[in-house]
Amino acid sequence: MHNHIFQGETMKINLNEIIDPTEGHITVSVDTKGHRHARFDLQGLPRVESLLVGKSAAEALKMTERLCGLCPVAHHLAGTRALDGLVGVRVKSYAEMVRRLLHYGSMIEAHSLRFIAVDREAGITLKQFSKQMLTGAGSPGHFPDTATPGGIQVEPKLEDLQVVADGLETACAAAQRVAVALQNQGRGTQVQTEMPFADVALIDDSGYPDVFGTRVRIAHNGEVLEDFDFSQWPEKIAEEIPGSPAPRPYIVTLGKKMGRYRVGPVAQLSVGKVSTPRAASLQAQWLSAPPDAALARAIISLHVLELSGEIVSQLMKTSENYHLDEQASTTKQWQAGISTGLVDGPRGILAHTYEVNAEGIITRAVILTPTAQNEPWLAALLTAATTGDTDETRREAALEQSIREADPCLPISSAPPGQMGLKLDIVNES
């Protein structure tokens, strides 16, 4: 996954040297009362925001796109959205739709790999279609090249959009088939935590869940606790251990103890009813049982595919009337300030916050990944798994299921059953 090298005048970091993509490390500490507390080790996923400081905004964006080989589009779009407010240009609706298509394509690409084990034909169909969506949005390669602060820097080709339009119904049917198969096979090994985790996901202006929305909703057990514009993210979400790979983020209004939360497909389906009919029908059934990330991924995939139909139709109708905005080119007039951009990606909300001076140089940066946000939830799931069933085989299955549920940004999250490569250390506290 993280196999890219970034170089500056005095530094070089090869992320492949510090991350083992085939192994997950779980530490279980046993306190003096015999209670177990498990943690998934994130030390191999370093915070790299300091590498961006002193770089131009354009250079920093290219670096962030290559921070994660699994989520390059999410970083591309979150970083671009963070800088949109600092170029003094309103993103036009056409450019916004192109960005949406790019984001939706990246979500289908990420989720489709999980679907192959459920329905091989459907998974492959969705994987191939996701590449057509990304091409339609102007980014045919693995690393995106579509968005730029203030707009987009490539115009979609009409023939590429037509390919997407022609394949949408087949893709929707494939996603629905996966969802129904997952419903029919049941929830499998389930590990639940009794800790009260809120759900945090993006919504649109009408309050519907929206993975490319501009508002954030915090909910718990179906009750909405708070809605706010994503520009307020730094005020609403704080890190208990700032700068740490496992920063233990929390909702400020709820405090450190009660303010833990989760992001990702489970949260995306838990903060409100989705707006598309086929996905909404499946969501209603999903909500009637304990939350399950595997099925949630299929429902979210169907949802964004349903939304893509209208987007592609509008892009094809208006493409002749759109021309790249000169302000959204490589030359920009920067406004000094602080800005935050969010996207709700395959693993959940990714937040980029940048402080930029008038020359477009980044003077401060904070990136909060879904993996870092879900670490407390994953710790609780792992703790429940290690203190539950004493049968070693079932306990190992529960540990693996916990990791798949919270889905840390490592390839082991999608490893076949029994092949996750977990290393378990038990430490007795004196």
Give pLDDT, residue 4.
35
Torsions phi, psi of 276, nearest 5?
-105, 140
What band does 251 get if pLDDT is binned at 50, 70 and 90? very high
Please indicate whether residue 39 or residue 351 has the higher confidence score (pLDDT).
Answer: 351
Tokens 């940004």: give the residue: 409
Give pLDDT, residue 370.
95
Please indicate whether residue 210 or residue 25 has the higher confidence score (pLDDT).
Answer: 210
- Could you tell me which of 10, 154, 151 has the C-alpha nearest to residue 84? 151
Average the pLDDT over 223-251 and give the result.
94
71 is in an annotated binding site: yes
* The two three-digit tokens of residue 87, written as one number: 């170029």
Average the pLDDT over each of 32-36, 97-101, 124-128, 334-338 and give the range with the smallest value.
32-36
68 is in an annotated binding site: yes
- Check pLDDT > 70 for residue 188: no
Average the pLDDT over 128-146 and give the result.
93
Give pLDDT, residue 429.
67
The C-alpha atoms of residue 40 and residue 423 are separated, in whole angstroms, by: 10
pLDDT digits (tens, 9 = 90+) for 324-336: 654 444 457 889 9
Average the pLDDT over 36-50 and give the result.
78
What band does 26 get if pLDDT is binned at 50, 70 and 90? confident
pLDDT digits (tens, 9 = 90+) for 271-288: 999 999 999 999 999 999
Residues 6+ apart with CB under 8 A from 242: none
Average the pLDDT over 312-330 and give the result.
73
Give pLDDT, residue 67.
67
For all residues of the chain together, what is the average pLDDT?
Answer: 86
- Check pLDDT > 90 for residue 90: no
Torsions phi, psi of 352, nearest 5?
-115, 130
The C-alpha atoms of residue 253 and residue 238 are separated, in whole angstroms, by: 10
SS3 content of the chain, % helix, strand, coil (to 5): 45, 20, 35
Please indicate whether residue 397 or residue 182 has the higher confidence score (pLDDT).
Answer: 182
> Which domains, from first to last, does the chain contain?
16-43+370-426 (3.10.20), 89-187+291-330 (1.20.120), 196-272 (no CATH)
End-to-end CA distance of the chain: 38
172 is in an annotated binding site: no
Q: What is the pTM of this model?
A: 0.90
* Greatest pairwise CA separation for the chain in angstroms: 71
Average the pLDDT over each of 184-188, 313-317, 345-349 and give the range with the smallest value.
184-188
Average the pLDDT over each of 302-311, 368-377, 409-418 and give the range with the smallest value.
409-418
Residues 6+ apart with CB under 8 A from 93: none
* The two three-digit tokens of residue 155, written as one number: 């115009």
Three-state DSSP state, 106: helix
- Check pLDDT > 70 for residue 349: yes
